[in-house]
Amino acid sequence: MKEKKTRRRLPSLVRWIGWVLLFQLVLFNISAAIYAHRLTHFYNDPSLQGSHSSGNIFRKTWKLFTGPKFPKSLIRQTPSFTYDTIRLKRANGDWIDAWYGEPDSLAKGTVIMFHGLSANKSYMVREAATFRLMGYRVMLVDFRAHGNSDGQNTTIGRNETEEVSLAYNYITAKDAKPVYCWGVSMGAVVLARAAAEGTIQPAGLILELPFASLQSHLKARARVLGFPQQPFAFLVTGWIGIESGFNGYKHSTISYAKKINCPVLVQYGGKDGYVLKSEIDDIYESIPGNKKTLVGYEEAGHESLLMSEPERWKKTVLGFMQQYPG
């Protein structure tokens, strides 16, 4: 009799476990979809607290699973040098905002600059001023939904190649060669994709702090809070792709790096909590040929490498551009 009762209970138990797992799967996907939407949409409210790294453990957990609301980044400073404001029109009619400055001496070339996620062109004014003192024209670009550019939505470096192409074509039309492209974090990822697609042919790429893939970037967001990286990163990656109309799992800097055919300088921070050294190594090793250089700033985090080691940064970057004059 006991064996018969046990046999009857087993199917019920299996069904109960199945319903629990199904409920968890639905709950995780709802949470991931909300997070994906909020991460890729910026709000015109400067009072919003974009970071989910503050607060107690319960507040952090809630923000991790529902996603923080990010305010659209505001311009926090302007260049100390003379510059013009350039407006470039996207295919959908939105405008992209940029600053363009000439050096005081005869220009050696042009450096087009691209910022990271949730930043804008004003975050790059120190690097721009340094490039200008080296004798290069500079163009600092706001990606869509950042700074003074139109839009509220980002694709975290996937479709922003349109802005890269617009800026590159603007500079080449001015016959301002050789052209170098510098990008940090998401900006570096966008440049790798643009170069892989062949929409730009720069004399050289300078990639600082690039994440290896969209999924690795999302893992980092969980990792810095001490939360499990999966299934959070996997699910949010998928939902960002659905939200933005592409396969999020294929948004990979490593894959893009394999198709780059110009000189590349890759720079990283030894104490970067968002981009692991293994990610940098995978990207660097994927770049074909021998016209590539890897440089680490061991005391730097996910921050301005110029500010971390000014003289070393200047020497490294200038040396790279002089080595590959275009």
Cα–Cα distance between 139 and 127 in angstroms, integer? 11
> Are 199 and 91 in a shared domain?
yes
Contact 210, 275 (CB under 8 A): yes
> Are 38 and 148 in a shared domain?
no
- pLDDT at position 30 is 82
Cα–Cα distance between 195 and 199 in angstroms, integer? 6
Residue written as tokens 């080449």?
Answer: 172
Domain that holds residue 144: 73-212+252-323
Nearest to 193 by CA among 250, 110, 267: 250
Q: How far is CA 89 from the centre of its chain?
A: 22
> Are 80 and 62 in a shared domain?
no
Contact 48, 72 (CB under 8 A): no
- pLDDT at position 2 is 47
> Are 47 and 148 in a shared domain?
no
Nearest to 222 by CA among 212, 237, 233: 233
∠ CA(165), CA(169), CA(170), 5° rounding? 120
What are the tens digits of pLDDT across the range 180-218?
Answer: 999 999 999 999 999 999 999 999 999 999 999 999 999
Contact 93, 45 (CB under 8 A): no
Give the β-pairing of 95-101 and 136-141.
Answer: antiparallel
Contacts of 179 by beta carbon, 8 Å cutoff, 6+ apart: 109, 110, 111, 112, 168, 171, 172, 200, 202, 203, 326
- pLDDT at position 7 is 54
Cα–Cα distance between 38 and 153 in angstroms, integer? 9
> Are 31 and 43 in a shared domain?
yes
> Are 169 and 103 in a shared domain?
yes
Q: How far is CA 322 from the centre of its chain?
A: 27
Six-digit token pair at 44? Answer: 């015109």
Cα–Cα distance between 313 and 166 in angstroms, integer? 28
> Are 107 and 133 in a shared domain?
yes
Cα dihedral 130, 135, 136, 139, rounded to 10, equals 50
> Are 67 and 79 in a shared domain?
no
Longest dimension (CA), the chain: 97
> Are 163 and 126 in a shared domain?
yes
- pLDDT at position 16 is 65
Q: pTM for this structure?
A: 0.90
Q: Is 160 helix (H, G, I), strand (E, B) or coil?
A: coil
Nearest to 79 by CA among 139, 114, 116, 122: 122
> Are 79 and 169 in a shared domain?
yes
Evaluate the omega torsion of the peptide bond into residue 103 and state whether it is cis, within 30 degrees of 0.
no
- pLDDT at position 14 is 67
Q: What DSSP designation does 124 have?
A: G
Looking at the structure of the chain, the number of domains it has is 2
> Are 234 and 111 in a shared domain?
no
- pLDDT at position 1 is 47
Contact 237, 214 (CB under 8 A): yes
Domain boundary among 247, 268, 297: 247
CATH number of the domain to which 260 belongs:
3.40.50.1820
- pLDDT at position 319 is 97
What are the tens digits of pLDDT across the range 135-163?
Answer: 999 999 999 999 999 999 999 999 999 99
- pLDDT at position 139 is 98
Mean pLDDT, consecutive 10-residue segments, the chain of 326 residues?
52 67 69 87 75 56 68 94 97 98 94 97 98 97 97 96 98 91 98 97 98 96 83 92 95 98 98 96 97 97 97 98 93
> Are 183 and 291 in a shared domain?
yes
DSSP string, 27-73: HHHHHHHHHHHHHTBEES-TTS---SSSS-HHHHHHHHHH-PPEEPP
